[in-house]
Structure 1
Amino acid sequence: MIDIGTELLPAAQAEVIGLAVLRADRTVQQKVGRLVEWLPALGADCCLCTLLVGMEAEMAALSEGRRDVIALSGVRAELPGLDRPVTAVILWNGDQSHYVVIAMPDFTARQAEIMFESERRARRLMEQQLEAANSEVRFASLARTRLRLARDLHDTLVHSIIALLTQIRLTRHFLATDPARVSDGLAIAEEAAINGLARARDAIARLRMPDDLEPGSDVEEMLSDFARQTGIEVSTRIDDGARAGLQD
């Protein structure tokens, strides 16, 4: 049987394992190493600690030879500085009528924790990348919408200016040939200026307030651009109710 003095004590003193001796009445007789500090103080019943609470029957079965060992795998002792899982094994030394507790780091559980943490980090990274990609798509859609509105504004201004120039030239011609028609020409020029100004103001307002745009059209346009660039056939169907919700 295990001899605490000669076989395991050096390893416990070197903090490789934790070692403890429990009397037959389950009271703690000796503790060596930080890995068994989860046991109660010397002289206390070991079943008072969190890891062994309610295990009186199992301890009795061990001392009576009805079971060979008690193993607690992958448990985490709530101790300062002990940040890794511990596997604890309890044996019965019949020659000396006491229990022997051996605690050692559970490297398998630790590796599982490392793997799970790595997976969580990878998932967070993927979520961040997806969020960044979504932001880029939204920005690209907004930029494309602004560019379209800027082109509309440019076309509106150019059309209005051309119409005004044409009417001004006609009015100048009427001034020399038919002065009675000058008033009509000025009225037409004024109407063209008013209409052009209204259209320009509308385009500028839409350019400044992208939230008032119609996202449904943007979605369809984005999918059309994607189909043109990739050659992949894309079909779009937006219900009337959903389209109204997007416009709201």
Structure 2
Amino acid sequence: MNPVNPTAQATASAPRVAIVTGASGGIGRAVAERLGSDGLAVVVHYGRDKASADEVVAAVTAAGGVATAVGGDVADEDAMAALFATAEQLYGGVDVVVNTAGIMLLSPIAELDLADFDRMHRTNVRGTFVVSQLAARTLRTGGALINFSTSVTRLQQPTYGAYAATKGAVEAMTLILARELQGRDVTVNAVAPGPTATPLFLDGKPEAVIDAIASRTPLGRLGTPDDIAEAVAFLAGPGRWVNGQVLYANGGIA
């Protein structure tokens, strides 16, 4: 844990507070930095890469924001309870939770090692459930929970079957939770990125394959982490009338 402003307490003028899981790189980093620039105090969650999480904290604070790095396994309910407790101790509460933590292991369904399926299920499904459950219990009035799905649930691309299955589960729990929180003034949505230029997507793909995928979007390019962070910032801030939805941030790919 790397508290930058450990004396911060909830006051009438205190900023809103966001927890971003998987914030040490890729889309999670862009989300954390964007929410920090929007004036939220950000708890930068990481799984193993503390050094990268500290870099995100440094970037947020260098831009005038407030941030803290906290590690832990998203599928471990005790570790995540400690994460939420840290946010409350340092900043007085939690207003926004963004679940970007996830892993993607690709294989045709007939050939997939079931150990890989179990790994994805543990992080993508159980991890999202654990964090969503804590968010449902602790988010303050006016809060927002934003989970992460994938546009592959629509595109049905070969080798993505097991990964898409985990994200289908995320969508189901997200939409149901939005309705279970009726009367709380808390929104629950999912963002479903399309192909986005992150290491998770780019690793192992030949340049020709990447170019072919980019050409399928009407905008003629891959998404960027900042593109996805814009969608999250909308749902975390002004998008209060969007609730119980899956927002496809994919440039129109088909």
TM-score tier (shorter): under 0.3
Q: Which has the larger radius of gyration?
A: 1
TM-score norm. by structure 1 comes to: 0.22
Structure with bigger RCO (C-alpha 8 Å, 6+ apart) = 2
Is the helix fraction higher in 1 or 2? 1
